[in-house]
Structure formats: structure tokens, C-alpha cells
Amino acid sequence: MWGGRFAEGPSAIMREINASIPFDKALWRQDIAASKAHVAMLGAQNIVSADDAKTITDGLDAVAAEYERDGVPEDWDLEDIHMTTEGRLAELIGPVAGRLHTARSRNDQVATDFRLWVRETIDQTDAGLEALQRALVIQAGNHADSIMPGFTHLQTAQPVTLGHHLMAYYEMIRRDRSRLADARVRMNESPLGSAALAGTGFPIDRDATSAALGFDRPTANSLDAVSDRDFALDYLMAASQISLHLSRLAEEFIIWASQPFGFVRMADSLSTGSSIMPQKKNPDAAELVRGHAGRIIGACTSLMITMKGLPLAYSKDMQDDKPPVFEAASLLALSIAAMTGMVADSTFKTDRMRQAAELGYATATDLADWLVTEADIPFREAHHITGAAVKLAESKGVALDELSIEELQAIDSRVDKRVYSALSVEASVAARASYGGTAPDQVRSQVAQARAALDIEG
């Protein structure tokens, strides 16, 4: 490829450090598609003859068939997927293959191919997240009335319903999907035709190639087009946020599956055993999802550091843009699939959850609220009275609603028997009926809206 300029070939070290074919061969489908769109445009613009355009297109189809059947060969002398495809095309159709590279550069080729790959990955990621949302919504609907302790600082705070808890993750994933959708809109511009950095003197039709590849429009600045990797960073930043949410959900399952909690029984298909302790059932899938988050975030950081100091336009550093994106996409797809299966196939131990909610003085806030509304006591004073009641109940080893009316009145005489209607966990969750609250009717309403948004029947 460099014969006209260089008297000697590259050293073995240069061949190895320069070759990207071991990883960028993943772009072969996108490279074939972009090349076919490019040559069709060259033919339509009479930049190459119609016969040559057809010969090249048929040859590209033949190369694609070989890749599909046998995989992409790795010849480091050809460096990358672009030269590998062009080299094989020349072997199949002869010198006419050289016309394919008219009015383009590997700089706009790789920018186009990589955008196409990331765009497809965004669509696949979104489909996976939708499946996870479906699993969350179905389980939330099944458990709209199932009471569990809600936590702050991992300390029992107030009773909530399991359905409410699961719908919190539905909302997180909804935001994740919106970030992916935003990224897809921003990246859906075609760099093809920007050539090396300055555009081309050939009378190309960039609107035609853009439309053929499903882009909304061509990029407006050729320098920016070949040097931009914002689209990859947008994806990685969205992937990082998704991985954080998946990691939080995984951590909850890990805690809930532990014997001290006992809130959930994980499916055998997503658990492992111990080589020495026969009783163990380890939540390894959840732990790996939690671990993958670090690698995905690391991939995002890696590309940001690669790009942070590069002048316009293309620099060889940018060859390292693809491995972190490929790795993150693979890990994220696995994580989403694992959490979807975990949510769908786990069995929630609702009796144990309800028992834990009763044991943690989770209705203390309800006692304080009752003192405010029924006894006309300022909240700060009600908070103090309730704290005294919790301290007494704790010393006796009983729940708040097991304290006698005499014991409560000894703390504050304004308490009367009506207070017991506010101290059950059922009364507590039912009272939280504000929009977005944990009351079962609110949860069912949110589930119904989510089912409609996801087009879930029933």
C-alpha cells in the first residue's frame, strides 16, 4: 500500500503495533455496506462507469459471503478491515477494485463504519433494556401489595411494597433508554465523503450515501467528521450509567439472597455452588454484573483519555477507539441479559419481607404523622415522642403496635386508641397514596401506565 512513498517495508514491530485487523474485523458488515453505498453513488455520479460499479458491487457481495462463511482472515500486512476487504476484492475482480477508493479515505471509512456499528449496538442495547423493563413490570404487578422494609443507609426506614421497589428500577431503565435515544439522534449523521480531512474534488453526492446507509444527513464539517468520536463516547457514557443501575439492582439481589435477609430465592440457572461447601448457592451472576460495571466505566474512561489531547484531524491514537467500545458492548449485553433473567425467574419470599418490615419499627414515621394530624402536635415534638416510643418498644422487644395504650399515654397523654389504626404496616403503605408513592393503588396505576408504554397485554 505504501510502495510509492517508502523504499522499505515496515519492521515486525511496526507491523504488529500498526495492525488493527484482530479487532476491527468486527466491522466487516458495516464496511461492506458503506462500500456498496459509496460505489453505487460513484456510478450514479458517473465518477466510475456503471459496469465497473456493478462489478465492484458483485465482488463486495462475494467477499461478504466469504466472510460470513469462513470469517475474516487476519493478514497484518493489510492492517485493517478496509484494506483486507479491498485486497480480497482485487483478487476476485482484478484492478477495477482500485476504483472503489475513489473520493474516499480510510479516515471517513472507519468513521462511517464505526458509527454504523455503534448505531446497531444502541438498538440492540435498547431492545435488551426493554426486555428488562418488561420483567420488572410483570413482577411489580404481581407484588403491588407485597410489603417489605424500605431502607435508607441500609437501615429499616418505612414500609414499602416490593412492586414499588421494582418500579424504581423501571424508572432508572426508562432514563437509560432515553439517553440511548438521544445519543442515536446525535450520531445519525454520515461522515462518508469527508475523505481524509478536507472533503474531495470529485462531484460526489453525500446525501445519496447518507440516505442509503440510514443516516439523517451528512456531517457538515469534514475535519470534524473524520476526527469525531463523540458518538462512541455518548454510547460509552450511556453504557456506564446503565451499568451503574444494573450494579445497584444486582447488589440488592445479592443482599436479599443472603441468609440474614432471605428475601429472594434466586433461580438455579443463574447461581453457582461451592467446591467445598455443599450448602452454598452463590449469586455469581449478580456479582459478575456488579463487577462488569467497573470494566464498562473503565472503557469509557479509556476512550476519553485517548481523545483528550488530539489535534484535528485523524491521529493513529484513534485506532484504539474500538476495543473499549467492543468490550463494553459485550459486557453490557451479558449484564442486561443476566439481570433480566434474574428478575423474571427469582422467587420473592414475601412472608419474610413482611416480617422484616414489622420488626424494624418501620411505622415510626406513621406514629409521628398521626400525632401531627390527630393530636395537633408540631412535627418536631411528635418526632421526639415517637423516638421515646421506639426506645420503649425496643427495650421490651416488641413492635410499636404491641405497646399498650397505657404505655403510650405514659409517654404522652394526648395519644389515644385511634393510634393503632396507623401502626400496622398495611396502614402505613396504604397511607402513602401521593403520586409516585408506595400505596398499592399507586403502584398498580404506575404498573398499568408502564404496561401500556411497553405494549404488554393483560
Domain locations along the chain? 13-102, 107-350, 357-454
Domain 13-102, CATH homologous superfamily name and number = Fumarase/aspartase (N-terminal domain) (1.10.275.10)
* Structural contact between residues 165 and 148, judged by C-beta atoms closer than 8 angstroms: yes
Active site residue 274: yes
Strand-strand pairing, 189-190 and 264-265 = unpaired
Is domain 107-350 given the CATH code 2.60.120.560 in the classification?
no
pTM: 0.91
Catalytic residue among 178, 258, 274, 315: 274
- Rounded to whole angstroms, the Cα distance separating 117 from 138 reads 32
Which run of H or E residues covers position 265? Answer: strand 264-265
Say how far apart CA 101 and CA 192 lie, in whole Å. 12
User: What is the Cα–Cα distance from 79 to 85, expressed in whole angstroms?
Assistant: 11
Per-residue pLDDT of the chain (458 residues; tens, 9 = 90+): 545 555 566 678 877 887 889 999 999 999 999 999 999 999 999 999 999 999 999 999 999 999 999 999 999 888 999 999 999 999 999 999 999 999 999 999 999 999 999 999 999 999 999 999 999 999 999 999 999 999 999 988 899 999 999 999 999 999 999 999 999 999 999 999 999 999 999 999 999 999 999 999 999 999 999 999 999 999 999 999 999 999 999 999 999 999 999 999 988 787 777 677 767 678 899 999 999 999 999 999 999 999 999 999 999 999 999 999 999 999 999 999 999 999 999 999 999 999 999 887 888 888 999 999 999 999 999 999 999 999 999 999 888 888 999 999 999 999 999 999 888 899 899 999 999 999 999 999 999 999 999 999 86
pLDDT at 268: 77
DSSP code at position 272 = B
Question: What is the per-residue pLDDT for 229?
Answer: 97
Half-sphere exposure of 67 (CA within 13 A, CB side): 21
* pLDDT the model gives residue 278: 66
Of 455, 374, 419, 453, residue with least CA distance to 174: 453
Do 443 and 140 form a contact (C-beta atoms < 8 A)?
yes
C-alpha cell at 152: 435508607
CATH number at 357-454: 1.10.40.30
> Which of 153, 395, 404, 434 is the catalytic position?
153
